[in-house]
């Protein structure tokens, strides 16, 4: 479980995060949503420890991030898997080498053990025959799946995804969403996804945190988001006619 208390972050005089408090539960897919510029990425980078923050507290399973020693931080990071918006695969390595990379860095496994583990995770993301391809030879959807495979190869306790569906067609986006959901359930990972894809919200949003101008405007689940009266949330989530209709139908059905 990850807990955040009163998080403040500024760049110079520009206040980005203005006192965010929330928690992300173990074994659940937690979504951070909000418009571009609302502070989602900065929030995610603070959670990852990539940005220092002025005020507040982040705890990972009860341990305060800012009070951790260098070794403790290193151990924590070895338990974190991250899927970047642009996949961030290493260009100079094949897909199999990319997935094997965390194992080479953090384990003492033999080459054959590492290869077996790579086979398992590449099978898990349905990429059985892509081992020797270079990232540049893979499609956007394949690259995202490789990034997920790399993120989970070391059995992480926490999985962070920064807009995992950006640049993907709706069908592939659903495949990626479902894959993340399945992996979260299967391995009981604390998953935090930064997204503004409404399909993801409706599909996998077990907990949703809505940010607006650096403030936590609303939090709830994919079910409660249909019923919320919060104007900022409804304006954001139901900005398209399609989602407005879906919401009306949902409310009518439930009434």
Partner 1 sequence: MKYLHNIGTYFIMVKDMFRKPTKWSVMKTLILKDIDDLIIGSLGIVAFISFFVGGVVAIQTSLNISNPLIPKYLVGFATRQSIILEFAPTFISIIMAGKVGSFITSSIGTMRVTEQIDALEVMGINAINYLVFPKFIALTLYPFIISIAMFLGILGGLAACVYGGYGTFEDYIEGVRIDFIPFHMAYAFIKTMAFAFILATIPSFYGYFMKGGALEVGKASTTSFVWTSVIIILVNYLITSILLG
| Min separation Cβ 82 and partner 1, Å | 4
* Binding of residue 48 to partner 1 (CB under 8 A): yes
Figure out which of the listed residues 8, 15, 18, 77 binds partner 1, where binding follows CB under 8 A.
Answer: 77
- CA contacts within 13 A on the Cβ side of 196: 16
Residues within window 85-144 making contact with partner 1, judged by CB under 8 A? 85-86, 88-92, 102, 104-106
* Minimum distance, C-beta of residue 242 to partner 1, in the bound complex (Å): 32
Helix or strand (DSSP H, E) at 5: strand 2-11
Q: How many CB atoms lie within 10 A of CB 20?
A: 22
C-beta of 71 vs 253, nearer to partner 1: 71
CB closer to partner 1 out of 70 and 129? 70
Pick between residue 104 and residue 132 the one whose CB is nearest to partner 1: 104
Interaction of residue 46 with partner 1, rule CB under 8 A? no
Q: DSSP labels for 39-95? A: SHHHHHHHHHTSS--SEEEEEETTEEGGG--HHHHHHHHHTEEEE-TT----TTS-H
For residue 53, give both structure tokens: 């923050």
* Cα 198 from chain centroid (whole Å): 15
For partner 1, give the closer residue by CB, 145 or 216: 145
Strands 55-60 and 158-162: unpaired
Q: Is residue 209 within the footprint of partner 1 (CB under 8 A)?
A: no
Size of the site for partner 1 (CB under 8 A): 22
Residues that bind partner 1 (CB under 8 A): 48, 50, 73-74, 76-78, 80, 82, 84-86, 88-92, 102, 104-106, 160
């Amino acid at each position: 479980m990850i807990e955040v208390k009163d998080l403040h972050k500024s760049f110079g005089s520009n206040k980005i995060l203005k006192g965010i408090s929330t928690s992300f539960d173990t074994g659940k897919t937690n979504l951070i949503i909000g418009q571009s510029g609302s502070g989602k990425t900065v929030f995610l980078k603070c959670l990852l420890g990539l940005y220092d923050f002025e005020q507040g507290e982040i705890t990972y399973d009860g341990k305060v991030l800012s009070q951790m020693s260098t070794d403790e931080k290193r151990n924590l990071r070895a338990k974190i898997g991250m899927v970047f918006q642009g996949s961030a695969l290493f260009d100079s390595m094949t897909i199999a080498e990319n997935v094997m990379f965390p194992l080479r860095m953090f384990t003492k496994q033999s080459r054959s053990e590492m290869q077996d583990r790579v086979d398992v995770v590449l099978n898990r993301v349905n990429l059985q025959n892509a081992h020797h391809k270079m990232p540049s030879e893979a499609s956007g959807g394949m690259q995202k799946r490789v990034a997920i495979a790399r993120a989970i190869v070391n059995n992480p306790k926490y999985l962070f995804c920064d807009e995992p569906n950006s640049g993907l067609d709706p069908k592939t986006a659903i495949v990626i969403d479902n894959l993340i959901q399945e992996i979260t359930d299967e391995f009981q990972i604390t998953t935090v996804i930064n997204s503004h894809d409404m399909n993801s919200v409706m599909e996998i949003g077990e907990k949703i945190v809505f940010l607006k101008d650096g403030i936590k405007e609303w939090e709830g689940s994919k079910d409660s988001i249909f019923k919320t009266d919060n104007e900022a949330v409804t304006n954001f989530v139901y900005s398209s006619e399609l989602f407005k209709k879906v919401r009306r139908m949902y409310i009518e059905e439930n009434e």
